[in-house]
Amino acid sequence: MNSFPWLTVAGGIPLLGAVVLVLVPSRGALSPGDSAPGDSAPGDIAARNRLAKLLALAFSLVTLVWVIVMATRFNASGPRYQLTETYSWIPQFGVHYAVGVDGIALVLIGMTAVLQPAVILASWNDVDVLGKPVKNYFALMMVLQTMTIGVFAATDVFLFYVFFEAMLIPMYFMIGSFGVGARQYAAVKFLLYSLLGGLLMLVAVIALYVYSGESAATGHHGTFLIQTLVNVTLSSTTQKWLFLGFFIAFAIKAPLWPFHTWLPDATASAQPGAAVLMLGVMDKVGTFGMIRYCLELFPAAAHYFTVLIITLAVISVLYGAIVAIGQTSLKRLIGYTSISHFGFIVLGIFALTSQGGSGATLYMVNHGFVTGALFLLIGFLIARRGSDKIADYGGVQKIMPVFAGLFLVSGLAGLSMPGLSTFVSEFLVLVGTFDRYKVPAVFATVGIILAAIYILWMYQRTMNGPTPEPVAAQLTGRDLRARELLAVVPLVALIIAMGVYPKPVLDVINPAVHSTLTQIHVTDPVPAHPATAQNGAQP
């Protein structure tokens, strides 16, 4: 039953890192004899911060290596959940510490592990100027990583809920303590939105437990283990209510229109690194939860609500894109594009086709890398210029050519340029949707055109044209440094690699998606075009 604790260790490494980081002394010199005790010379502070950052980076790299090794132990054609560990945690409530991954969870954990070191590298100097304990910022990042690995790995609904809620706290402090602008307002709004959704989900979680105790499938013992819960048959009314309890929480997290209003504020107030973790990793928990929990636990309700949700998803795609076009702030613009992208992901999930599901899952990973790269790059720009207004830039390409090149590639990935990773996933989502829902698919396709507008127009306004005097003064000769390149180039490389050859990732995802759809008794409709069906999920 219990394999080697691959997942527990994967989540444990960052947590250990956070503890070590907090233990870095905050006063006095690092090595005794350097200066008097209690003295905090600027040099000492810098040295301590440097040590904290190096430790954070080291722990995140160890996590990455561990996750890569772990991924090699995963057999895509093996059983649904692998690397499982199950221990009784709170026997009174039938709660287990149960972790395990299927293909979907595995690639998302992989994405988390890849993004973390990139974000740490990119955030190196972001919070130094605030005069707050820098080590805490990185410790919070590490704690957040533990929570996100936990939330993807949990195979017990209670455990999932615990991580789902607990992961709000580090992000809340990252925005509230280390953010910019109206950070207090944004942090509270973020937390309250998420808590409200989470608490509604709590009712559904408890009810699920109580009803599972009334079912013969669990031997009349309430349980939270998802593998047991999928066999519990609930009445269709119950399913609908519980589905809504889970779905609203996930829709707030994802975020889906009309539950999205916290996102632009939070994105604008967060440091670039925190924003990447929020958009790239945390929000994926929403869409991940829709596949894992909404579809599998409440299949009848999922069918019932499909049309409504697809409508919301299409509105998200168009609304996010249109509002993004009108943004004057770079950070907000990326925030709104994410609403559009999450619309695509939700569309793919609730199309209930294998292409749609695989495309949506792949989209989650791609969106993490693309938004990560874009946002980190924008962060570099803001760090140099001190503003995130589009109007404060122009002609940057001439003075920072390397930056502009990377920005262009990431931007093109954001608008789903063929050859780059998002194209594959967006194509799959649209094909999968078109098979079943033709009109929504057509509307959603308009989103691609809008994406071209918001990305290219933003690029044109910031990178091309004449270089205004203040921009030239601040940015000339300050193209990306080695550390910044080290953070972003791997992401851009992944974007290109997964655009050219997505098969390895799809091979891991496909069986899990297939198994999900089997679970809810869905078969793909007769394909609109024979070629699509034969190639399966490959474009």
Task: Name the residues that contact another protein, by CB under 8 A.
Answer: 89-93, 132-133, 161-163, 165-166, 168-169, 172-173, 176-177, 183-184, 187-188, 191-192, 195-196, 199-200, 202-203, 206-207, 209-210, 213
Compute the least distance from the CB of residue 190 to another protein, in Å: 10
For another protein, the closer of residues 166 and 325 by Cβ is 166
With b for 16 or more beta-carbon neighbours within 10 A and e for fewer, the 369-392 pattern comes to bbbbbbbbbbbbbbbbbebbebeb
Q: Which two tokens stand for residue 267?
A: 């994105």
For another protein, the closer of residues 19 and 90 by Cβ is 90
For another protein, the closer of residues 110 and 222 by Cβ is 222
Q: Which two tokens stand for residue 32?
A: 């005794």
Between CA 463 and CA 393 the distance in angstroms is 7
Q: What is the DSSP letter of 34?
A: S
Q: Find, among 284, 340, 333, the residue nearest to 312 by Cα.
A: 340
Compute the least distance from the CB of residue 89 to another protein, in Å: 7
For another protein, the closer of residues 28 and 213 by Cβ is 213
Compute the least distance from the CB of residue 182 to another protein, in Å: 11
Between CA 121 and CA 53 the distance in angstroms is 8
Alpha carbon of residue 482 to chain centroid? 26
For another protein, the closer of residues 89 and 427 by Cβ is 89
Compute the least distance from the CB of residue 22 to another protein, in Å: 10
Q: Which two tokens stand for residue 327?
A: 């943004």
Compute the least distance from the CB of residue 162 to another protein, in Å: 4
For another protein, the closer of residues 175 and 429 by Cβ is 175
Alpha carbon of residue 278 to chain centroid? 6
95's enclosing H/E stretch is strand 95-101
Alpha carbon of residue 209 to chain centroid? 28
Compute the least distance from the CB of residue 131 to another protein, in Å: 9
Rounded (5°) CA angle 387-125-338: 55
Q: Find, among 134, 147, 251, the residue nearest to 198 by Cα.
A: 251
For another protein, the closer of residues 91 and 477 by Cβ is 91
Let me know: does 465 contact 386? Beta carbons within 8 Å: no
